[in-house]
Amino acid sequence: MSALERFLRYVQIDSRADDSSESCPTTPGQLEMQRLLERELREIGLGDAAVDENGYLMATVPATPGRESEAAIGFIAHVDTSPEMSGTGVKPIVHRAWDGSDIVLPDDPTAVLSASELPDLAAQIGHDIVTASGRTLLGADDKAGVAAIVEAAAQLVPHSEIAHGPIRICFTPDEEIGRGANRFDVARFGAAYAYTLDGGNAGELEFESFSADLMRVAFVGFNTHPGYAKGRMVNAIRAAARFVDRLPRERLSPETTDGYDGFVHPYQLEASVDRTSVRVLLRDHVTAKLRKQERLVRTLAEAVAGETGTRVEIEIQEQYRNMREVLDHHPHVVDRARRAIRAVGLAPIERPIRGGTDGSRLSFMGLPTPNLFAGEHNFHSRLEWTSRQDLEKAVAVIVAIAQG
Ligand SMILES: [Zn+2]
């Protein structure tokens, strides 16, 4: 079986994560994925492959003779797909030796992948491009990563001439809703460091993420029958609207920043006259700058509360931290990936992520974990695509990292 064949099978299982569920994993489809992978890994020869009570699948590729004493290296991917787009009835289509012309997805002719709009795609003329059919996401995020890891294991096990130390594999649930690291048992995993395979273009190596906090700013007003509210009603919606309007827009917003510039992003509102709460994301690559962002939000919120006669309640929650703060202490982890990427004939592409990965959390849980490409593009979209060639490069990089 090839990496592509594995991938085409995985994407047809609906494993969408569900934020509204408290169970772990949040959906039965993710367990179905894990059971399938457990069987496949056992067939390959990884006898210890097992899904734990939280739906995490771990397995070992034993070291080749003479390298048993090396520290174990981990490879990690997530089995869930984004809740933002349907993952039911995914029909993957392989556009063999794509000639560069528009790819019109058959189930929705308005869904078109065009080389003129997608430079990453334009660079792949001649490759076998894989898309969904127009009504769903594809699920390359992160089933491309899963397929690459399984295929790498399948290549390593029967070939003892490819020398490597112990390798640990973990497939995690619910990454897309920020819970992928929650019940990750780092001690049981037992790797010295790891790599997530959950990135885009061939050659990508990510070891710098945002640091992230979530603020909840709630304005408390006073509700009464609107017909008899004169002089009494205090409308929390008006206060929240004024607050949102005062947040910076020309700078410090997602719409106006890129690269290393952070932002303050109001993204969710729960509104009633009595109480309106705004969720605000704080993001920067420098953790200390989050405190400045917090002060800005607090100052604006308190001023608005004073002007509007509302009371404001503010909570702040740490989400994740820039993995670079950990990885800078373990430079060999990133170096090993760089060497492997070059060894398979690619140039490492190193850019800061404007977001987080499971590795951002895992790195601070004691498992330094940068992120590697798996050929994922147009994440969470009907226009999601990948290519067989990228997938195979990801497999080659895993094998090269294992060899060291
Ligand atoms: Zn992902």
- The pLDDT tens digits for 254-277 are 999 999 999 999 999 999 999 999
Mean pLDDT for the chain overall: 97
The dihedral built from the CA positions of residue 231, 236, 239 and 245, taken in this order, carries a sign that is negative
Of 14, 38, 80, 213, the active-site residue reads 80
Distances (CA, A) of 377 to 227, 244, 268, 384, 387: 53, 32, 26, 6, 9
Give me the residues paired with residue 193 across strands. 73
Check pLDDT > 90 for residue 225.
yes
Give the model confidence (pLDDT) of 351-392 as tens digits: 999 999 999 999 999 999 999 999 999 999 999 999 999 999
CA of 275 to the centre of ligand 1 (A): 35
Give the model confidence (pLDDT) of 204-213 as tens digits: 999 999 999 9
Q: How confident is the model at residue 148, as a pLDDT?
A: 98
CA of 187 to the centre of ligand 1 (A): 23
Q: Catalytic: 19?
A: no
Helix, strand, coil shares of the chain as percentages rounded to 5? 30, 20, 45
Report the run of H or E that residue 291 belongs to, with start and end: helix 288-308
CA of 142 to the centre of ligand 1 (A): 5
Check pLDDT > 90 for residue 1.
no
Q: What amino acid occupies position 8?
A: L
Confidence of residue 126 (pLDDT cuts 50, 70, 90): very high
Check pLDDT > 90 for residue 214.
yes
Residue 198, φ and ψ in degrees, nearest 5: -160, 50
Check pLDDT > 90 for residue 290.
yes
CA of 325 to the centre of ligand 1 (A): 22
CA of 141 to the centre of ligand 1 (A): 5
Peptide bond into 80 cis (omega under 30): no
CA of 224 to the centre of ligand 1 (A): 46
Q: What angle do CA 290, 292, 294 make, to 5 degrees?
A: 70
CA of 221 to the centre of ligand 1 (A): 40
CA of 82 to the centre of ligand 1 (A): 8
Percentage of residues in the chain with pLDDT exceeding 70?
100
Helices and strands, number each (H, E), in the chain: 11, 16
Q: Catalytic: 99?
A: no
pTM over 0.85: yes
> What is the mean pLDDT of the segment spanning 313-331?
96
d(CA 391, CA 201): 10
d(CA 330, CA 320): 19
Q: How confident is the model at residue 229, as a pLDDT?
A: 97
Q: How confident is the model at residue 114, as a pLDDT?
A: 97
CA of 305 to the centre of ligand 1 (A): 39
Check pLDDT > 90 for residue 16.
yes
CA of 117 to the centre of ligand 1 (A): 23
Of 175, 198, 208, 284, the active-site residue reads 175
Reduced to 3 states (helix: H, G, I; strand: E, B; else coil), residue 222 is: strand
